[in-house]
Amino acid sequence: MTSIASAALISRLGSMINDCLGRYVEPDQPLAIVDFPDIRNCGDSAIWLGEMAWLKRHFGKEPSYVCRLHDFSESELRKAVPEGPIFIHGGGSFGDIWHGIQDFRERVIEAFPDRTIIQFPQSIHYNSPERLAQSAGVVGRHKNFKLMVRDRVSREIAEKHFDCEITLCPDMAFAIGPLPPRPSSFPILAMLREDLEKADIGKWTFPDIPREDWITENRYKVKLAKLGGAIRAGFTSGAVRKYRFLDAAANQRFERGISQIARGEMIVTDRLHVHICSTLLGRPHVVLDNSYGKIGRLMDTFYPEGTGITWRATDVEEAVSLARAQLSRVESAAA
């Protein structure tokens, strides 16, 4: 069950999101969202669904144009959304870890110098000063780019290097709101990254604790979900069918991720969106930070007091020890 503290936090962050973004949407204007995350990472689907939930809850609308990295069309966007804002999907890809996404972002900014472009909340991280300077040049040449960042460190980087409007805004996954409780299947589940942002955990020495990630998916189920979304769209415009097609995949991936983490009564993770989704689910969890500290950066910015169900650790041994101790306390209190 979601704790009183975490429920209040989710509500507060949802209000902050609307305060940050509400001024960029007009009820009578269409809007576009680019960089749909058609990838295995359930966290990106959580962000997308938060973006859609915010739009529907506050404006009762859906995007009139959606694209992935590989099927972006400048002419189709201009035709579908001749006026109104262009949003770029949020997350943790602003920088030079995920080169392809940053290249795409800058391509969109350069393609629409006359339009308002809003970057949904991002974490910023650069290893290369040269790549940072390139991004700063692209942003600086666009006079109506609005950059949302989801932690103070990212804001400091942005304010130092980028000539644009910068706003601190929580991660969009919080806009999903609290999730219904689900039963667990076993005591502790470790959800640890296997990609470029993974924490340095060394050798896994806890055979009694399942260690997983949420980037493995059944492609057949995703394809079926997409097909179902397109069928439900019926005889509508191609843009609407495409939105339904992709949104169905995001829902399928999100459900897979929530079902996966709900199996553990206690979670250990270095994934930001396992932390956020565990908070929405009301599942107690211990967090390690990813390779560049984005979990701690988000928490320190918006809820340094914690969530009521989250504990922080500096290494995997401490994380497992904390998980065991907190689980033991819960079990003792219930006895």
Could you give the percent of the chain with pLDDT greater than 70? 93
The confidence score (pLDDT) of residue 118 equals: 98
For the cut 50, the answer to whether the pLDDT of residue 1 exceeds it is no
Question: Please, where are the H alpha helices in 35-186?
Answer: 42-59, 74-80, 99-111, 129-141, 152-161
Q: Taking 60 as the threshold, does the pLDDT of residue 2 lie above it?
A: no
Whole-number Cα distances in Å, 49 to 8, 85, 218, 296: 20, 19, 20, 23
Fold of 4-175: Rossmann fold (3.40.50)
Given a cut of 90, whether residue 313 has pLDDT beyond it is yes
Longest CA span, the chain: 64
CB count in 10 Å sphere of residue 330: 13
Share of the chain above pLDDT 90, in %: 80
Lowest mean pLDDT among 83-87, 173-177, 213-217: 213-217
Residue type, 5: A
| Res 291 pLDDT > 90 | no
Q: d(Cα 145, Cα 131) in Å, to the nearest integer?
A: 19
SS (H, E, C) 308-322: CCEEECCCHHHHHHH
Is residue 233 scored above 60 in pLDDT?
no
Averaged pLDDT for residues 147-157: 97
pTM confidence score: 0.93
**In this predicted structure, which of 46-60, 108-122, 125-139, 196-210 has the lowest mean pLDDT?**
196-210
Average of pLDDT values for 296-303? 96
Section 287-301 average pLDDT: 93
Q: Which residue has the tokens 């600086």?
A: 140
Has residue 167 got a pLDDT over 70?
yes
Averaged confidence pLDDT in the chain: 92
Predicted local confidence at residue 283, as pLDDT: 95
Gap between the Cα atoms of 126 and 255, Å rounded: 32
Cα distance between residue 325 and residue 56, in whole Å: 41
pLDDT at 3 exceeding the cut of 90: no
Rounded-to-integer distance, Cα 58 and Cα 53, Å:
8
Q: For residues 213-241, give the mean pLDDT.
A: 70
User: Which of residues 222 and 157 earns the better pLDDT score?
Assistant: 157
CATH 3.40.50 residue spans of the chain: 4-175
Range with the lowest mean pLDDT among 110-119, 141-150, 223-232, 279-288? 223-232
Confidence of residue 110 (pLDDT cuts 50, 70, 90): very high
pLDDT in tens, 19-32: 999 999 998 899 99
Higher pLDDT: 21 or 292? It is 21
